[in-house]
Chains A and B, each alone.
Chain A
């Protein structure tokens, strides 16, 4: 990673701490600048990550609708990627996977390998191929839920003693898939509602992208 320091120490001294941090981050050339809008979004997404991960590991893991614990963070990553595109999708995917693995994962942590590509691919497809619409969101959600259920099935098949492939499919994959699909609505709605003000502001201001 290449760092370019434009200013001397004397110049740094004139800037406040947040400004200096922002300056330093911008100089990393990650095409990801930090401003008030980004911080607000990050705070909102952090809240959602905590909310969904806590809900998933407490309430939903107790109730187990349709016999499975629905994954709320995966549709959340999809919703963020579609709404805020690939970079936000990748970052939120990475953080979400890390948090949910930290809270509820044991042994093998594979979720970053699903969440991050999901965030990137959904974001890129929305940017370059398909418009942000309900059917597109639904397709992304279904496809990612299939992948999630498949991963759950593989892990279950390998870790549960005495389970057959058929049982892994009917008892793990299918319930997980349908539970994911049903509960995916909530993250999508919440992301859409909370991001609407930002999109309006941005449209008013010109099409400024992060």
Chain B
């Protein structure tokens, strides 16, 4: 065996091997290429190109099998990405909702610049069936007192019935015991919004004490009058759904669909002070 390593063949091969390592490496480092290397590439390039085209077609077929792990990992990665994006979308949606809510409150605030309002979140609802009571996460410490109106961006929701240091309970205008002075925005006809049990089950209010010739039509917007109640003037109560005249007394009554629905609201404002309210106080 040692004879081989002493042979001329071995020396020639060893030298060629070293040259095959050193020459291309050095030339490559210098940004050049050797004639032989260039020749090999030039000769084989067409074959390689052709083979690559064939390989491309084969790859398309074999990728069904070989790319399984890759696709599995990609699937996992995409799932994580989707979860992350969903979180972002949820966050963005929340921000948008907040923005819309704030915009509407800003509109309300612009309309009633005399209002001083405290933000509160509905933290719970009445435990009894058909209960129209809801709990707020702000109380006396925040400046909330009994009798203060609670509004949403759409209109009147109710008033504060009970106050604790950090909580309060409000009664919806749908509560059978409540009544609100109101008027028809279009004609100025005055009446009283009351809640009746049967109607309140359907989420509807009754407007009574309207004059016999009161100008009221279906679709009219009803606002608070600000007289004889806890509510300031011009807050939206709802829209007229039906109008009827009593055959005997000839008095006119209407049903009103509240503009603000308790089941669709999660954040509210408590009006802690307003001009008329202050005057009345």
Interface residues of A (CB under 8 A from B): 1, 28-32, 50, 53-55, 57-59, 62-65, 86-87, 90-91, 94, 97-99, 101-103, 105-110, 112-113, 116, 120, 124, 127-128
Q: Are B13 and A116 in contact (CB under 8 A)?
A: yes
Secondary structure at chain A's binding surface: helix, strand, loop or mixed? helix
Q: How far is the CA of A53 from the CA of B52 in the complex (A)?
A: 12
Q: Are A98 and B20 in contact (CB under 8 A)?
A: yes
Q: Are A59 and B28 in contact (CB under 8 A)?
A: no
Q: Are A63 and B66 in contact (CB under 8 A)?
A: yes
Closest beta carbon of chain A to B190's beta carbon, Å: 78
The answer to the question of B72 belonging to the interface, with a C-beta cut-off of 8 Å to chain A, is no
Q: How far is the CA of A97 from the CA of B24 in the complex (A)?
A: 12
Evaluate whether A32 and B9 lie within 8 angstroms (CB atoms) in the complex, with A50-B44, A65-B66 already known: yes
Secondary structure at chain B's binding surface: helix, strand, loop or mixed? helix
Contact of B20 among A30, A59, A94, A124 (CB under 8 A): A94
Evaluate whether A109 and B41 lie within 8 angstroms (CB atoms) in the complex, with A30-B8, A31-B9 already known: no
* Additional 19 contacts, C-beta under 8 A, given A94-B13, A112-B17: A29-B8, A31-B9, A54-B44, A57-B48, A58-B48, A62-B52, A63-B62, A86-B4, A87-B9, A91-B13, A97-B17, A102-B24, A102-B36, A102-B37, A112-B18, A113-B17, A116-B14, A116-B17, A128-B1
Could you list 9 A-B pairs, sorted by A, with CB under 8 Å? A30-B8, A31-B8, A50-B47, A98-B36, A101-B24, A110-B21, A112-B17, A112-B18, A116-B14
Evaluate whether A112 and B8 lie within 8 angstroms (CB atoms) in the complex, with A58-B48, A103-B48 already known: no
Q: How far is the CA of A118 from the CA of B47 in the complex (A)?
A: 28
Contacts of B14 in A (CB 8 A): 116
The answer to the question of B59 belonging to the interface, with a C-beta cut-off of 8 Å to chain A, is yes
The answer to the question of B51 belonging to the interface, with a C-beta cut-off of 8 Å to chain A, is yes
CB-nearest residue of chain B relative to A129? B1
Closest beta carbon of chain A to B106's beta carbon, Å: 50
Contacts of B10 in A (CB 8 A): 90, 120
Contacts of A101 in B (CB 8 A): 20, 24, 37
Chain B 2-24: CB-based contact to A (< 8 A → 1; otherwise 0)? 00100111101110111011001
Q: Are A62 and B55 in contact (CB under 8 A)?
A: yes
Contact of A107 among B1, B25, B41 (CB under 8 A): B25
The answer to the question of B110 belonging to the interface, with a C-beta cut-off of 8 Å to chain A, is no
Contacts of A109 in B (CB 8 A): 20-21, 24-25, 28
Contact of A97 among B20, B52, B58 (CB under 8 A): B20
Closest beta carbon of chain B to A176's beta carbon, Å: 16
Contacts of B7 in A (CB 8 A): 30-31
Contacts of B128 in A (CB 8 A): none
CB-nearest residue of chain B relative to A123? B4
